[in-house]
Amino acid sequence: METPYRPIQFYYQGRIHRVEHAPVTRTLLQYLREDLTQTGTKEGCGEGDCGACTVVVGERVLDQDGREKLQLRALNSCIQLLPAMDGKALFTVEDVAKLLRGNGQLHPVQQALVDTHGSQCGFCTPGFIMSLWALYENYERCPNKETVLDALSGNLCRCTGYRPIVDSVAVAYQQPRAVWDQGPILAALREMAGAPALVYEGGGHRAYVPRNLAELAQLRLDHPEARLVAGSTDVGLWVTKQLRDLGDTLHLGQVAELKLIQVGDDSLDIGAGVSLTDAFACLTQEWPEWADLARRFASRPVKNAGTLGGNVANGSPIGDSMPALIALGARVVLQKGTARRELALEDFYLGYQKNALTPGEFLATIRLPRRHTQAGRLVFRAYKLSKRYEQDISAVCAAFALHLDPSGKILQARVAFGGMAATPKRAPATEGALAGQVWNAATAAAGAQALAQDYAPMSDVRARKEYRLAAAANLLQRFWQETGAPGQAPETPQSLRDFAPI
Amino acid sequence: MNTSALPPVGTPLPHESAALHVTGAATYCDDIRELAGTLHGAPGRSERAHARILAMDLEPVRQAPGVRAVITGADIPGVNDFSFTLKDDPLLAEKEVLYYGHPVFLVVADTHEQARKAARLAKITYEDLPALLTAEAAAAAHAEVLPPVEVNRGDAPAALAAAPHRLQGKTHLGGQEHFYLESNIAYAVPKEEDTIHVWSSTQHPSEVQHAVAHALGYSVNQVTLEARRLGGGFGGKESQPAQWACLAAVAAKLTGHPVKVRLDRDDDMALTGKRHDFHIEYDAGFDDQGRLLGLKVLLVSRCGYSPDLSGPVNDRAVFHVDNAYYLDQVAIRSLRGKTHTVSNTAFRGFGGPQGIFAIETVLEDIARYLGLDPLAVRRANFYGSTPEEGRNVTHYGMTVEDNVIAPLVAQLEKDCDYQARRQAIARFNRENAVFKRGLSLTPVKFGISFTATQFNQAGALVHVYSDGTVLANHGGIEMGQGLYTKIRQIVAQELGIPVDLVRLSATNTSKVPNTSATAASSGTDLNGKASQQAAAAIRERLTAFAAEQAGVAPAAVQFQNGRVTAGERTWTFQELVKAAYNARIKLWESGFYKTPKIHYDSKTMRGRPFYYFAYGAAASEVILDTRTGEYRVLRVDVLHDVGRSINPALDLGQIEGGFIQGMGWLTTEELWWRPDGQLMTHAPSTYKIPTAADLPPVFNIKLFDNANVEDSIHKSKAVGEPPLMLPFSVFFALREAVGATDPTGRKFIAMDAPATPETLLNAIRDLAR
């Protein structure tokens, strides 16, 4: 029988690289630094939290007019596994100036960082350059400061204090726009797309990278023990930090159907392979109340690599999307072979890191009822508490969704928390205290009282249990103050980000 | 800006490696192309905080794929110790482990990954021993790494008893992880005739050189240490890199292969020391204006399992309990707690910040007790500005001769509109129940020089090649602060040439020996002077030569913009150098500098440990959500004294970078240990340094117009550490905001640092009780 294996292939520095013998869990960063001796990209933490390893990955996508374009996104090479690179284009700090084919000239984002004194020790700088370059490529005109900060949310700098780096963006846009020929890259991407779906063997294990749902379903049935890998923003750490052997891996990143977002009349279906970046864009469009949580959720590179399905299926008690999804009545569509079943998201979690998936089954879709389909007026908030504003793991993540009739009576209450139990968990006692009542201060107080019946959180590195309980109750108060309290002028600042100095 | 026509010194030139940084071409230790046969080492770690090792089965480690050697303490050819004292810090613990993570063996394997995997396979049998984990626990048990230190002036108990007001309090100030982006690393290459070349990411090449020699049983001239640049240091690479360099060198000697030891981030955070956390108690007596009449302060620090640099760190804390204030009748006691945690070490400020935090807490408490503006209380305690005024001698007997704190603070107060904003904030706080604002203005006075007098020396080597290009080398380390850039400016200035003619070469113990650590903010002060002296000697010889050629007096010779003029004659610098070479003039020179005036008796803790003081002040405004303890820094104004700046852009970078780093220490950066002594905040996922979103939206920084009164390099002042303390204004602004939840305005606020949302909510709830 003909061997099904072929090399991993991706475009880098003017040619298609073919990787044949690397273990299936070899990271992109290891490959760059150790195998290609391209050492511009640095390892700072090996877990996707510092951004020194940031690279840009290019994929061929269609824009809204159906035209082919190159989508460029920054991500962390230290937790990207090589099979996930198959069929993509890679850009590292060594490439940015060379793309312009200038004679030793720096790219505007590089020159601007020199001009604003944005590097000191310089170790984080290559990662910043890649985040800045991705930003530059994605915005033809200088973006606003919030967009800049968001683009830099995955890059730590310990020397500069960030001000000159943030300032460098405007300086880069003052220079003539740098343009370059994407043609050869798109051609290479098309060429690689012609190869059969990847089955790869390296280091004694296989990596399967199916292209469509039917292939995935079959592979999942045939290899139920293979580790599912989506964005590897968590699984990557099993490799780099726990030094675990993952066995065979089954990659979801190229399954076309899983990358679809379908906005139906009644429901919003988000494929399990949709990136967090794209999923949050969609969720925020339907529910603007997602915006703050979406901003604070992980970092931009992690959101570019990670998927909403991965966050949900991983089922961490501190996964930040689930409380809000549960509060909005999300359901999960699970598939095994060709059979599908649907569960309420809260019922998907059976215990600490245990879920309802059976062998051979996988999460296909996250389905939310659309806003207008629900009775009454929705008031909804999702709050995240952590030591740091962005790119931190929640001490407490809260989501409250109430449906109110015109008199202010609560028709339905859904409350869910992260960081308060072994799984993301609904709050039945609190919901019971709210449902049927008029949404007023007394009801909010009663709801806050009931929280202690719903949760017995633990103390850990992120917070003590006393803080978790007290802050959770106060978040319900905050929810009341923001959504129900009388006399709230619409312009009254509600969030710390709304305040200016006196 | 076009900087080519400006004189090198005083111009905001970019970092000399900036173009390399942004293209990924700057070479750090791990980027050096590895020699064939290079092996990789990883430490095997203790999983107990304090225990006797009963048995160690390393066979599974040896059998793991790729493993070439497993090294224990018994295998070390020389001394199994990397400390300066050669007795407290085993490279590999042998019979007893003293903290959770303590390295007990080193695995050497073909790849970094193989070594890390194998290091986890050891089976070690322990007998647990009692472990002390906090400074307070150590103090209670009288466990100390070094004897207590006391500094007394006058009769503090009598002054306290006689004072009209008296207040006692205590607080706790957390430690800090350096989080340099480049973790500790060393690459050791054995050479002929029992010599070894070691690249190490260290701020202290000579100490590492000595440690490597001791570990190998070599003399110092068999070891060469080299470092071109560090991916950050902040004090964390002063004493700590010796362990990894020694282990790499030992492994290289034992295997005959080049060996690299690069710590994974989690290992780096668990196995290398941090800023000392301090437990602070005080007893203060004061008058109606809040002026201190008597003060007793107890400082208890967590030093970890060994002294490391804890002696001088705690000494500097004692020296800085005054900050900018005159302490008349004072008694300070400093305990150096021995704990079963990693050995704490240097960190930007080196104990100074902890001492300053103590006095700032005292003054804040006094202000609240008296119902006064904390700035008024601070001002009432400032050192006298003139000798006539008196009140200008520190508690360790040094006269403050360069005091500018009063005019500096007055200028900042005006520039940031402190008084009007303070009133507006009081109004805001009366009208808002949920959100509270706080504003605080805090000063800094920081002593410049190593308190260990012998370290205040430096050497340099300047070569002028016969083509007129210049290569400078010195004992300082480039870790991002821009030292090489400033040296380049200083040398170019001295020779009257553009900076592009000057290159810096990697710091290397075979070029300039007996280097001092690049620490204590002293890099430019020391190495700048030494480099200037070397360049000046070459210039003098060129001057004499040019004068002779032109037939004019040496005083008539001028070096400027790459040209040399002598009477009617004029040369390009290159032409003159070429002619001088042909005339057999020596075109290279060494330079040496030692800081004048300083002296100090470590037994009595009296003298002049500092050449001069650097000053600064900051005003910070915050907004606090009283429901959750979340907050945001809204505006920061800084006025800082760098003397006559050699490079204003680099100095600004040190100020704002130091500010944000200090702000992180005091707010988001929390170290957290499990009850069994394991550090759980051992990665950036759990240990949170500031990100770009934490940058205050309004961040005004100005340099204070001031020249150093001492003969420092171009009248500049050191700038590395002092700005780290400016964000005390953030901490105390948060405290003010917490205090605003108490309608009486007078209740004592119990609030430790770091001010996490949890700490702030606890303080708010505490006030409401």
Does B623 contact A37 at a Cβ distance shorter than 8 Å? no
Closest CA to B278 of B203, B231, B333, B212: B333
pLDDT of residue A492: 63
Helix (H, G, I), strand (E, B) or coil at A89: strand
A343/chain B closest Cα distance in angstroms: 32
Q: H or E element: which one contains A365?
A: strand A361-369
Residues on chain B touching A96 (C-beta within 8 angstroms): 23
How many C-beta atoms lie closer than 10 Å to residue B175's C-beta?
24
Q: How far is CA B727 from the centre of its chain?
A: 15
In this prediction, residues A480-493 reach a mean pLDDT of 69
Residue A113 at interface with chain B, using a CB cutoff of 8 Å:
yes
Does B232 contact A121 at a Cβ distance shorter than 8 Å? yes
Alpha-carbon gap, residue B669 to B414, rounded angstroms? 32
Question: Which DSSP string corresponds to B10-59?
Answer: TS-PPPTTHHHHHHT-PPPGGGSPPPTT-EEEEEEE-SSSSEEEEEEE-H
Does A392 contact B621 at a Cβ distance shorter than 8 Å? no
Of B181, B435, B765, the CB nearest to A124: B181
Alpha-carbon gap, residue A46 to B319, rounded angstroms? 40
How is residue A41 annotated by DSSP? S
pLDDT of residue A1: 46
Residue B231 makes CB contacts below 8 A (sequence gap 6+) with A42, A121, A122, A123, A124, B28, B180, B181, B182, B201, B479, B480
pLDDT tens figures, B685-722 = 999 999 999 999 999 999 999 999 999 999 999 999 99
Pair of tokens at residue B81: 């110790």
Closest CA to B547 of B514, B574, B580, B508: B580
Pair of tokens at residue B298: 């107890």
Rg (CA), chain B: 27
Alpha-carbon gap, residue B513 to B590, rounded angstroms? 11
Q: Are B79 and B151 a contacting pair, CB within 8 Å?
A: no
Q: Is the peptide bond before B754 cis (omega within 30 degrees of 0)?
A: yes
Residue A444 makes CB contacts below 8 A (sequence gap 6+) with A476, A477, A479, A480, A484
User: How much is the pTM?
Assistant: 0.98
Pair of tokens at residue A133: 């370059």
Of A45, A120, A124, the CB nearest to B683: A45
* Angle formed by the axes of helices A163-174 and A108-115, nearest 10°: 130
Alpha-carbon gap, residue B198 to B189, rounded angstroms? 6
Burial (CB < 10 A; 0-12, 13-18, 19+), residue A190, is exposed
Residue A385 at interface with chain B, using a CB cutoff of 8 Å:
yes
Is the alpha carbon torsion for B740, A467, A386, A427 positive or negative? negative
Assess whether pLDDT exceeds 80 at residue A103.
no
Alpha-carbon gap, residue B163 to B166, rounded angstroms? 7
Q: Are A26 and A202 a contacting pair, CB within 8 Å?
A: yes
Residue B318 makes CB contacts below 8 A (sequence gap 6+) with B149, B151, B299, B332, B334, B351, B355, B396, B605
Residue B331 at interface with chain A, using a CB cutoff of 8 Å:
no
Q: Locate tokens 């002293």: which residue?
A: B522
Whole-angstrom CA distances from A493 to A121, A496, A497, A498, B434 are: 39, 8, 8, 5, 11
Active site residues of B: 721
How is residue B152 annotated by DSSP? E
Q: Are A461 and A395 a contacting pair, CB within 8 Å?
A: no
How is residue A290 annotated by DSSP? G
Whole-angstrom CA distances from B165 to A86, B160, B285, B287, B736 are: 74, 8, 6, 6, 22
**Which residues are paired to B212 by β-bridges?**
none
Closest CA to B6 of B492, B338, B628, B412: B492
Residue A478 makes CB contacts below 8 A (sequence gap 6+) with A381, A383, B627, B628
**Within the 580-599 window of chain B, which residues sit less than 8 Å (CB to CB) from chain A?**
none
Closest CA to A262 of A364, A339, A138: A364
Q: H or E element: which one contains A335?
A: strand A331-336
**Within the 466-485 window of chain A, which residues sit less than 8 Å (CB to CB) from chain B?**
467, 470-471, 474-475, 477-478, 481
pLDDT tens figures, B178-210 = 999 999 999 999 999 999 999 999 999 999 999
Residue A27 at interface with chain B, using a CB cutoff of 8 Å:
no
Of B684, B694, B757, the CB nearest to A49: B684
Q: What is the largest CA-CA distance in chain B?
A: 88
pLDDT of residue A494: 81
Burial (CB < 10 A; 0-12, 13-18, 19+), residue B20, is middle
Q: Are A193 and A86 a contacting pair, CB within 8 Å?
A: no
3-state secondary structure A300-331: HHHHHHCEHHHHHHHCCCCCCHHHHHHHCCCE
Question: Which DSSP string corresponds to B183-207?
Answer: PPEEEEEEETTTEEEEEE--S-HHH
Helix (H, G, I), strand (E, B) or coil at B650: helix
Residues in chain B: 769
B184/chain A closest Cα distance in angstroms: 11
Residue A186 makes CB contacts below 8 A (sequence gap 6+) with A60, A68, A70
Residues on chain A touching B653 (C-beta within 8 angstroms): 117, 120, 159-161, 164
Alpha-carbon gap, residue B23 to B564, rounded angstroms? 36
How many C-beta atoms lie closer than 10 Å to residue B560's C-beta?
11
Helix (H, G, I), strand (E, B) or coil at B5: coil
Closest CA to A200 of A15, A80, A22: A22
Alpha-carbon gap, residue B228 to B478, rounded angstroms? 7
Chain B residue nearest residue A44, CA to CA: B181
Of B628, B670, B698, the CB nearest to A471: B628
**Which residues are paired to B199 by β-bridges?**
B187, B226
**Which residues are paired to B572 by β-bridges?**
B563
Helix (H, G, I), strand (E, B) or coil at A164: helix
pLDDT tens figures, A181-231 = 999 999 999 999 999 999 999 999 999 999 999 999 999 999 999 999 999
Whole-angstrom CA distances from B681 to B33, B175, B269, B285, B688 are: 33, 12, 8, 39, 9
Burial (CB < 10 A; 0-12, 13-18, 19+), residue B199, is buried
Whole-angstrom CA distances from A102 to A106, A172, A178, B658 are: 8, 16, 10, 36
Does A156 contact B689 at a Cβ distance shorter than 8 Å? yes
How is residue B382 annotated by DSSP? B
pLDDT of residue B288: 98
Closest CA to B81 of B335, B337, B362, B343: B343
pLDDT of residue B152: 96
Q: H or E element: which one contains A228?
A: strand A227-229
Of B23, B421, B688, the CB nearest to A392: B688
Q: Which residues of chain B have pLDDT under 70?
A: 1-5
Does A123 contact B695 at a Cβ distance shorter than 8 Å? no
Pair of tokens at residue A229: 């890998």
Pair of tokens at residue A35: 């195998």
Strands (E), B278-341: 278-286, 292-304, 329-338
